[in-house]
Amino acid sequence: MLSVKDGKKGPWQEKIPSRQVVTPAEFRPLLASQAGDLPLLVNGLLESSSEQWTQRQLHHLYQATSELEGFLDAFHAKQNQEYFKVRELVAFVRWISAGISPLMHLYSRLPSYPVADPEWIQESLGPQVRQTALKLGKILEKTMQGLRDEWVRAGLLWPDGSLRLESLSPGKAMQTLAANRVQVAAPASARTVGARQAGQFLALAQSWAPLSQGASVKEDQSLFMARYCTEVIARRAEAQAHNFQSTYDTYVAGTEEEATCSSLPLLRGISGVVLHLCEMVTPLTHLFERHDIFEKEDESKELFHKHVDQKLLMEIIINSGVLMAYECLLKSIPVAEKALEELTDQGSCTLEIPPGITLHARPLSLIVSVVQHHGTPVEMEIDGGRTNAASMMQLLIALGTRPHLQRVTFFGDSAPLADLRHLFKANLGEEGLDRLPRELSYLRPSS
C-alpha cells in the first residue's frame, strides 16, 4: 500500500479534475496562444516558392502542427462545429509536411550515397524525388491556404507578418569533423557481421516480393493501396529499413570488413534511399486512410477532397514511394549476393533424417533457430524444390505433404551448415535440448 509523507497526497492519490465545457468564444484566445508562430511560418512559406523551402522549415511546420493538433484533440475540437475544420486542416498540413521533409533530405544527400547504379540515381530517381516534392508542395500550399481561411472564419486573428526564411535556412555549407577516432579491431568471431547484413538486406528485399504480383492492380490505385500499402504495411517497411541502417552503422561502418568488401557500403547507401522513401510513404498513407477508408464523417471526407487531390496523392504514394523503393531493392539484390559470396564459404550438405523422427513443428523450429542465429541465407531442398530455411511457415508448407521424408539438402554458408550437421546428429533435439552439443548451446533456453 502506498504511503503519503507529511500528510501530502502523491500523484496517484490526486483526484482527476472533471472536464469543464468551454464556449467557442472562451476557447478562441486559448487556441490563438497555443498556435504560437505557426501563422507566421505559414505566411513565410506561402510567400515563397516551394522550390525555396528548406527541410528545417518543414520540420518546424510539422512540429508546430503536431503540437496544435494535440491541443485541439485535448479539447475534442473534432466534435465541435466551430473548430472542426480548423482541426482537420491542421492535420492535413501536419502529415503532408511530414511527407515532403524526407524527400528534401534524400534529394540533398543523393550525391553522397554510394550506390550500385549511380547513373540511374542521377537520371531517374533524383529527378523523380524532386518532382514528387514539388507536387506535394502544391498540395501543402493549398492546405495551408485552407487553414488560414478557416482560421479567420472561426473568428481568429491571422497575423500579416511572416517568419523570415533566413532564420530557418541552414545558411552555411555542410561541415564535418575529421574521422580520427581509433577503431578497435573486431574479434575473429565477428567477421560474419557483414555477411549477416547482406543476408538481412536480402530478407528485406524478399519481404517486398508480393509487390511483384501487383502489376495487375496498378491501374486500380485504391485496390493497390488496400493490398500493398496500408499504414500498417508502410510502418513495418519503414521499421525494417531503419533497423538495417541502424545495425549497419553500429556493427559494420568503419570496420576492416567494410573496407575490404566494396559491396557493403553500396547496401548501406541504397538502404538510406529506401528508408527516406518509406518515411515519405508512411505519413501520406496515414492521411489517406483516415479520410478514405476509416473516416465515417461525410463532412470530413468532403473537406479532404476539397483541399487534397486524392488521385494525385495515391499516385505519389504508389509510384514515387512504394514502387520506387521496391525498384531500389531489386537493383541491389545482386550486390547483396556478391557480398555473401565474398564474405561466406558457400556450400551444401545432405543430411539423413534420424530413424523414428519426422520433421514436425518442434525439430523444424530448431532448424529455423540455427539459420536465424547465423543470419545468412540457407535454403533447404526437398524433392528438387528449395525453401527458405529461416521461415517456419515456408518449411511447414513444403513438408506438409511429405511425412516420410528420409533426407534433405541444405545450401548456404559453412557456419550454419556445420551447426545443422550437429543438430541432425543430435536427433534434431528430440531427446531434449539439454542433450544438444556445446556448439548448439544457443538453442537451449537461458536459465
Residues 378, 336, single domain; the answer is: no
Domain containing 270 equals 191-343
Tell me, what amino acid is at 414? S
CA distance from start to end of the chain: 32
* Domain presence at residue 161: yes
Is position 110 within any domain? yes
Total domains present in the chain: 3
One domain, residues 130 and 226: no
The larger pLDDT score, comparing residue 179 to residue 23, is at: 23
Q: Are residues 333 and 360 in the same domain?
A: no
Residues 311 and 369 in one domain: no
CB 80 within 8 A of CB 24: yes
- Residue 186, Cβ neighbours under 10 Å: how many? 15
Residues with Cβ within 8 Å of 38's Cβ and at least 6 positions away in sequence, in order, are: 61, 64, 65, 68
Q: Do residues 70 and 34 both lie within one domain?
A: yes
Check residue 167 and give its pLDDT: 45
Query: For 77-106, what is each residue's pLDDT tens digit?
Result: 999 999 999 999 999 999 999 999 999 999
State pTM to two decimals: 0.85
Q: Do residues 151 and 202 share a domain?
A: no
pLDDT band at 12 (very low <50, low <70, confident <90, very high): low
* CATH number of the domain that residue 396 is part of: 3.30.1340.10
> Could you tell me if residue 15 is inside a domain?
no
Residue 302 CB-half CA count within 13 A: 5
For residues 311 and 335, membership in a common domain is answered with: yes
Co-location of 152 and 58 in the same domain: yes
Q: 373 versus 18: which is more confidently predicted?
A: 373
> In sequence order, what are the residues at sequence separation of 6 or more whose Cβ sits closer than 8 angstroms to the Cβ of residue 337?
198, 202
Residue 378 grid coordinates: 540457407
Pick from 343, 369, 396: which residue ends a domain? 343
| 17 pLDDT higher than 90 | no
Most confidently predicted of 158-167, 279-288, 374-383: 279-288
Which letter does DSSP use for residue 51 in this model?
G
Which one, of 39, 69, 77, 108, lies nearest residue 286 by Cα?
Answer: 69
With vertex at residue 111, the alpha carbon angle to CA 107 and CA 113, rounded to the nearest 5 degrees, is 95
- The pLDDT of 311-329, averaged and rounded, is 94
Q: Which of 319, 343, 367 marks a domain boundary? A: 343
Q: Which of 413, 140, 399 is nearest to 283 (CA)?
A: 140
